[in-house]
Amino acid sequence: MLLCAPDGTIIDFDLVAANAPEREAALALLQANPIEGATIICDKGFAGADFEAAVRELRALLLRPSRTDEPDRPSPPIGWIRQRIESIVNTLKDQLLLEHHGARTPAGLLARVTARILALCACINLNQRLGLTSRELTAYTD
């Protein structure tokens, strides 16, 4: 579960079991961070009155695409930011080999995932300081 800034910097993350309820994991991550006044953009899988009410209680705005069973709900124009979100996830998976972490224990998994996230954030920060595109990582590969 990732909480990211618009430039791709990862603000916080949590490792959760694959069978963990997605909305509960996301809500725990949001509650652990100061998000008042923020706009939270997520997938349509985060639909649900309870989740949306909980985000409102945190004084944040939730935007997500409409599901097919919600014909009366307008779908906000968030396609461009959702592409950025997918790009962040793909960067972690492909360039930083997140899915091929090689960990053998839960502690090892946490250490290896944290190292990759830290590497991504360091690259984004350096690129911003150098005036380059935030997530352009080719200069840092072999």
Instruction: Give the type of residue at 44.
Output: K
Residue with tokens 């963990």: 20
Could you tell me which of 5, 46, 39 has the C-alpha nearest to residue 24? Answer: 46
In the chain, the number of structural domains is: 1
Dump pLDDT digits (tens) for 1-44: 889 888 778 899 998 888 999 999 999 999 999 999 999 988 88
Q: What residue numbers bound the domain in which 44 lies?
A: 2-140
Q: Is the pTM of this model over 0.85?
A: no
- Residue 51 sits in a domain of what CATH number? 3.30.420
Could you give the C-alpha distances from 52 to 23, 40, 41, 101, 109, in angstroms and in order?
Answer: 10, 10, 12, 34, 31
Could you give phi then psi for residue 50, rounded to 5 degrees? -65, -45
**Is the model's pLDDT at 79 over the cut of 80?**
no
